[in-house]
Amino acid sequence: MNNENIKKFFLILFLSISFCPFKILAQSDNISLGSKELAFLNRLDILLQNDSILNFNTVKPVDRKSVTKQIEYIDSLDKAGKLSVQLTEIDRNSISRFLMDNATWTDHFKESFKSKNPVLHNFYRTPAHFYVVKDKILAMEIDPVLNLQYGQSNDGTGNTFTNTRGLLIRGSINKKVGFYSYLSDNQEKDPLYVRQFAAAYNAVPGVGFYKPYGKDGKAFDFFDFRGGISFTLAKYIHFQYAYDKLFIGNGVRSLFLSDFANNYLFLRLNTRLWKLKYEMVIAQTMQSVPQVQREMKAKNYMSLHHLSFQATKWLNLGLYENIMENGNNGLQLSYLNPLIFYRAAESNLGASGKASIGIDLKANIAHKFQFYSQLLINEFHIHEILHYSDGAFVNKQAIQAGVKYVNALGIKNLDLQLEANYIRPFTYTNYDSTTNFTHYNQPLAHPLGASVKEAIAVLNYHPLPKLYLTAKLISFEQGLDSSGVNMGSNIFRSYSTRTRDYSYFIGSGIPVHSTSAAFYASYEIFENAFFDFSASHRSYNVSNQTNSAVIFYNLGFRLNIQRREFNF
């Protein structure tokens, strides 16, 4: 299937579903990754332990309509004194503001959601949104986006800044088709280690095409655009066609698929039946090869399945598979089958893409704790598994283990999280480097690539309704290539360039030790508008080289946008 046929396929699919005789039900956009709303949903998931909707949030982002309806139901139980857990006043305030932010999908638009003095009688008629349209056909919310940050870094960068201006639109048509669109123009000057990443990989973290900016060329200029449409068919099957990011997991990191890289085009199908939720994603990604601005970029096609099973009231289990195929041969129709094992399909096609499988779990215990884990397997050779100490390069696996603790130590709205990640050398790589698990010169899973062991600690404290405090500590060890020899940490290289088959362990090569400590404080001046302060310290020490450490801080204002962080 060539590129033109692929475009026709997606167009025909959309039109056929849009005009099919089946009943199309109400549908919305998604809760944004990294938003305060998603963080609150994750907290409620632990507090309630066995919520029928929040339990199934491993694949993100989640549908705005379904979670809003559930939050409204939780609110009614709490007010009736029938909720199984005692919420704090901060939680109740968060619920009220959540419903105000998503009033389109509530059953009753409360008078308390309305502003007493709208700006010029038309703007901010609700504190949550700049402009709202709501009639029998169209429901739409329009919001400006602004992120103005200024700081200093002592690594020779001098002043740092972020200047983002944009627009966010979301809504639904006739309560059948949901849509959203985000566009921003950005200029930013980042600390040296971020600029070194951009120079090494020709990519700004989380960004696609960019240009140097400023007199010294140390800053970046880029557009960020996302958007999509979604609808629910026959009540149980949800479709989304979008250009955006996905995240699979419950941790700070994901070993399956993270939101670190640039946006990509995808078709997402999910269905929820009984104790099961099933996801299928077909995505078009960019090969991580040198890019030329005025030439069409080489493409890959990524296909994945994820099945969640609520085994008990407190335990959710997941199965995952993913394959990355070279786009030179087009999208293979076999991968569009939602009920197939990808490796078997690949073998029958004679293809040689990058295949992975994995399992994950999430256990909510005692309304206080959540234990979560991921195991990723890129290759499985039983002989090498049984002789793990030999360090065979084919042992390409990664494992994550973590725990969250809400209302920690009896302190209301103090949440702690601890996480460990271990990734063996050559994980995410293929013999053909163009089908490594990357997109637009950036990793699609862990931002550090492979051959890394990492420990993360996060403290979130919400002491006042509008004050958010976060402390974060990240420490990792990694092995770098030695004298150009491929030691398995650089996932942009082919594993066929290795010089031996054994004695590869996490950290093999030139050892690197890094520790980052950061503090963030955000005060919500009015709904979704934040005054920010952050301070960070990062050390990066390469064996037998001069130790490196940097301190940087930022002050700024943020409106309808998530905080931008560089946690690597």
pLDDT tens for residues 557-567? 999 999 999 99
Question: Residue 451: which region, alpha, beta or left (left: phi > 0; alpha: psi -120 to 50)?
Answer: left
Residues 518-541: pLDDT tens digits?
Answer: 999 999 999 999 999 999 999 999
pLDDT of residue 292: 58
Pairing mode of beta strands 438-439, 442-443: antiparallel
Q: Is 249 helix (H, G, I), strand (E, B) or coil?
A: coil
Average the pLDDT over 410-439 and give the result: 95
pLDDT at 339 over 80: no
Q: What is the pLDDT of residue 17?
A: 45
* pLDDT category of residue 294 using cuts at 50, 70 and 90: low
The closest of 285, 284, 244 to 32, measured between CA atoms, is 244
Measured in residues, the chain has a length of 568
Reported as a single tens digit per residue, the pLDDT across 76-100 is 999 999 998 999 999 999 999 999 9
With a cut of 50, say whether residue 204 has pLDDT above it: yes
Share of the chain above pLDDT 90, in %: 74
pLDDT at 109 over 90: no
Q: Which residue has the higher pLDDT, 393 or 547?
A: 393
pTM for this entry: 0.92
Write the DSSP symbol of residue 501.
Answer: S
Cα separation, 394 vs 385, in Å, equals: 9
Q: What is the pLDDT of residue 546?
A: 83
Q: How confident is the model at residue 3 (pLDDT cuts 50, 70, 90)?
A: low
What pairing do the DSSP bridges indicate for beta strands 414-423 and 548-559?
unpaired
- pLDDT tops 80 at residue 234: no
Mean pLDDT of 311-320: 96
Sign of the four-CA dihedral 493, 496, 497, 503: positive
Given a cut of 70, is residue 424 above it in pLDDT?
A: yes
3-state secondary structure 12-50: HHHHHHHCCCCCEECCCCECCCCCHHHHHHHHHHHHHCC
Residues 9-33: tens digit of each pLDDT: 545 454 444 444 445 556 678 999 9
Average confidence (pLDDT) over 360-376: 98
Over residues 164-193, the mean pLDDT reads 94
CB-based contact 236:24 (threshold 8 Å): no
DSSP code of residue 68:
H
Residue 425 scores a pLDDT above 60:
yes
Structure tokens belonging to residue 168: 């966010």
Kindly report the average pLDDT of the chain as a whole number: 90
- Sequence-distant (6+) residues with CB within 8 A of 519 are 469, 470, 471, 472, 534, 535, 536
Looking at residues 484-511, what average pLDDT do you find? Answer: 94
Q: What average pLDDT score do residues 291-316 get?
A: 87
Strands of 115-157 (E only): list them: 131-134, 138-153
Report, as an integer, the average pLDDT of 540-554. 91
Residue 45 reports pLDDT greater than 90: yes
List of E strands, 245-348: 247-248, 264-273, 276-286, 299-310, 315-326
Whether the per-residue pLDDT at 8 is higher than 80: the answer is: no
- The mean per-residue pLDDT over the stretch 156-170 comes to 95
pLDDT score recorded for residue 108: 66
The pLDDT assigned to 110 comes to 66
Does residue 129 carry a pLDDT above 90?
yes
Burial of 242 (0-12, 13-18, 19+ CB in 10 A): buried
| 439 Cβ neighbours under 8 A, 6+ residues apart | 261, 262, 264, 285, 286, 288, 300, 302
Q: Which helix (H) or strand (E) holds 93?
A: helix 89-101
Beta bridge partners of 316: 310, 362
**Residue 111 binned pLDDT confidence (cut-offs 50, 70, 90):** low
Q: Give pLDDT tens digits for 236-247.
A: 889 999 999 999
